[in-house]
Chains A and B, each alone.
Chain A
Amino acid sequence: MTTLDQATAKTGAGSRAGKRPVWMERPNPLVQFLKFIALLVSAALVILPFWSVLATSLADKQTLDAAAGGMVMWPGRGLSLSAYQAILSGGVVTRALVISIGITVIGTLLSLAATAGLAYWLSRSRSFAARPVLMLVLGAVLFSPGLIPSYLLVKQLNLLDNWWSLILPVLVNAFNVIVMRAFFQELPAELFESAAIDGASSLTILTRIVLPLSKAVLAVIGLFYAVGYWNAFFNALIYIQTADKWPMALVLRTYVVNQTTIGGEQIGSTEGLPPQLSMEMAILVIAILPILIVYPFIQKHFAKGVMIGAVKG
């Protein structure tokens, strides 16, 4: 499906055993083995931390005590969901989770709409003012305005300590506009012409023809935006002051990175708190999980999206 796969498929992908092109020498088994080990180690370095975090979040108190309070690789006999129950039963983490989901959903939808609209305008090269606006977009790729001026603007707009400060400043990413514009330009012009002749307006063409044909690029760019909103830490750190309005990233920093004790008043219940470490790891798992869930669906489109950005950008 992706450019990458097509290219490898077309050229015969000599690497698969038995399909090696005639001119390529037989691979040295020792070298192959070493390569395999090197890649296996890299993959393990990525997977092991996740595994360990998940295992620790599910471990019960006895298992953790046996591990001297440290991380474990196996959750032990009794899988315990008490850490998840504790942090999801109301309180700081639950609230942050709801806030982060809200910001991510609303932000991603608005970003996609604004980006697609702008890209559509700029993709019709003869349209009004397309040239100067494109220059503005390109300029925005090359530099960012800086921390202090951005902060002053958000302050001037009265957005401090407001959730919109996490959405509006990052609503449109210039690079994403360029990628999407390039994608729209690749669509066959005849489609638009025939639709226009049939009396379709620009809006109808966008919603009925352009967007349905651009699912791949919308998926990739939607993922980039969603991940950006979900992960937003920097803006939350400088713009959100009240702890009640924290998104997940700030909760993560406070309770997992800085290891502030999670007490009864932070989460709904006061009785029988699960071990701190389990709760911390459960927060971490909850922060990672949404990304792991959407990742496989979007992953197949990566190469395509990135290639367009690289070639056209």
Chain B
Amino acid sequence: MGQSSLTRPAGEAITAVPPPESAIIGRRRVGRLQRLSRDKLLVGIGLPGAIALVLFQYVPLLGNVIAFQDYQPYLGITEAPFIGLQNFSFLWTGEASFVNALVNTLILTIIQTVLVFPVPLFLALLLNSLAGERLKRLLQSILYMPHFLSWVIVVALFQQMLGNAGMLNTFLVQHGLPQFHIIGVPDLFKALITTQAIWKDAGWGTIIFLAAISQIDQEQYEAAAVDGAGAWRRLWHITLPSLKGLFILLLILRLGNSLNVGFEQIILQQGPVGLEASEVLDTWVFNNGIIGGNWGMSAAVGLVKMVVGIGLVVGANKLAHVFGERGVYEK
């Protein structure tokens, strides 16, 4: 094995006692079983994690079979009768509560992609152009923070600030002004959800843009400045084009998640607002499946949602390739 250390790529498995055959017949022909016995300690170290991942990420996929069954908890998956596509009837009968959830989900997806998604980019450009390295770092620390709070905390904070007995309304009442009801108002629900999403994650989203901006070759800026390009033109012709690939990558990932619009955030605030304004696909599955006991149909909705999500990622990635970008994965 000594001679192979020159040709061995970095990161290759290293063992204390090399199998003697490897020196004679070459490493490529080392059999599967031999590799297993060689790496058994290594595999043993990694196996618990692999088992947990497979058990909780892949085994549940089998549970989707209940989407085709008349599943009842007391019967169990093995006993439940198959009923074909009956659970998917929401797709063609236009079940009202499902359509409502779908429409709300799509509206929130569009709002969040258009309004929430670009905010980190603006914030990053702003931070980057700011004078004073110390101040910049302090602001970054502050703006990253909300990302680490749970939705329960964020929702509670918003209630205390904007609720009917919160900071804002107490202030308004004390100064003899009319109250401004925000929390619990169906018409403002989507605006509230969006504001919360921006408050929580916009700062954190800047981290990746700031890292990308710091990688841009500074000589480009210098050359552009020498040629007479002002700050705006440098931004438009150097900074933004350099971030295009990253922006598209993030947009694809966002698309894949586009049917997930904040389950925790919405379920926490659904009570006072009512289902019509607040129900989205995820909460529909929860309310009808786990709460309502309509297992088969909820699993069917979840399955359709998953397939659409995967389809969106693959489709968006194709589109990125068409436009000459790298996308998430290459083909």
Q: Are B45 and A8 in contact, with the CB atoms below 8 A?
A: no
A-side binding surface: helix, strand, loop or mixed?
helix
Q: Are A150 and B56 in contact, with the CB atoms below 8 A?
A: yes
- B130 to chain A: which residues have CB within 8 Å? 15, 35-36, 39
Shortest CB–CB separation between residue B243 and chain A, in angstroms? 12
Alpha-carbon gap, A151 to B52, bound state (A): 15
Query: Taking the complex as formed, is A53 at the interface, i.e. its CB lies under 8 A from any CB of chain B?
Result: yes
Q: Are B263 and A234 in contact, with the CB atoms below 8 A?
A: yes
Q: Are B43 and A149 in contact, with the CB atoms below 8 A?
A: no
Alpha-carbon gap, A169 to B286, bound state (A): 18
- B286 to chain A: which residues have CB within 8 Å? 147, 238
Shortest CB–CB separation between residue A87 and chain B, in angstroms? 15
Alpha-carbon gap, A144 to B133, bound state (A): 40
Q: Tell me which of A77-85, A128-136, A267-275 binds B.
A: A128-136
- A45 to chain B: which residues have CB within 8 Å? 199
Q: Tell me which of B103-111, B186-194, B297-305 binds A.
A: B297-305
Shortest CB–CB separation between residue A114 and chain B, in angstroms? 4
Q: Interface extent on A, as a size class?
A: 35 or more
- A256 to chain B: which residues have CB within 8 Å? 152, 156, 159
Q: Are A52 and B160 in contact, with the CB atoms below 8 A?
A: yes
Give which listed residue, B54, B131, B207, contacts A302 with CB less than 8 A.
Answer: B207
Query: Taking the complex as formed, is A92 at the interface, i.e. its CB lies under 8 A from any CB of chain B?
Result: no
Give which listed residue, A11, A71, A234, A284, contacts B170 with CB less than 8 A.
Answer: A71
Q: Are A67 and B170 in contact, with the CB atoms below 8 A?
A: yes
Q: Are B13 and A127 in contact, with the CB atoms below 8 A?
A: yes
Interface residues as binary, B38-69 with A (CB distance below 8 Å gives 1, 0 otherwise):
11011101111110111111111111101000
Q: Are A202 and B42 in contact, with the CB atoms below 8 A?
A: yes
Query: Which chain B residue has the least Cβ–Cβ distance from A231?
Result: B150
- A196 to chain B: which residues have CB within 8 Å? 14-16
Query: Taking the complex as formed, is A212 at the interface, i.e. its CB lies under 8 A from any CB of chain B?
Result: no
Alpha-carbon gap, A36 to B130, bound state (A): 7
- A48 to chain B: which residues have CB within 8 Å? 161
- Answer whether A147 and B207 are a contact pair too, CB < 8 Å, given A32-B131, A125-B12, A249-B150: no
- A287 to chain B: which residues have CB within 8 Å? 150, 152-153
- B203 to chain A: which residues have CB within 8 Å? 42, 46
- Answer whether A148 and B290 are a contact pair too, CB < 8 Å, given A169-B56, A193-B14: yes
Give which listed residue, A32, A46, A232, contacts B146 with CB less than 8 A.
Answer: A46
Alpha-carbon gap, A261 to B313, bound state (A): 46
Q: Are A149 and B268 in contact, with the CB atoms below 8 A?
A: no
- Answer whether A136 and B58 are a contact pair too, CB < 8 Å, given A4-B210, A303-B207, A303-B211: yes
- A17 to chain B: which residues have CB within 8 Å? 131-132
Query: Which chain A residue has the least Cβ–Cβ distance from B71?
Result: A152
Give which listed residue, A46, A233, A258, A307, contacts B145 with CB less than 8 A.
Answer: A46
- Answer whether A284 and B226 are a contact pair too, CB < 8 Å, given A168-B52, A174-B53, A306-B211: no
Q: Are B160 and A53 in contact, with the CB atoms below 8 A?
A: yes
Shortest CB–CB separation between residue A226 and chain B, in angstroms? 10
Shortest CB–CB separation between residue A209 and chain B, in angstroms? 11
Give which listed residue, A23, A120, A142, A200, contacts B46 with CB less than 8 A.
Answer: A120
Q: Which 7 A-B pairs have the closest CB atoms?
A: A121-B46, A70-B170, A118-B49, A149-B63, A231-B150, A114-B49, A7-B214
B interface residues (Cβ-Cβ under 8 A, vs A)? 5, 8-16, 27, 32, 35-36, 38-39, 41-43, 45-50, 52-64, 66, 73, 77, 123, 126-133, 136, 139, 141-146, 148-153, 155-161, 165-167, 169-170, 173-174, 199, 203, 207-208, 210-211, 214-215, 218, 221-222, 225-226, 230-231, 246, 256, 263-264, 267-268, 271, 282, 285-286, 289-290, 295, 298-299, 302-303, 305-306, 309-310, 313
* Residue contacts A-B, CB under 8 angstroms, 6 given: A4-B210, A117-B48, A150-B56, A153-B63, A284-B153, A303-B210
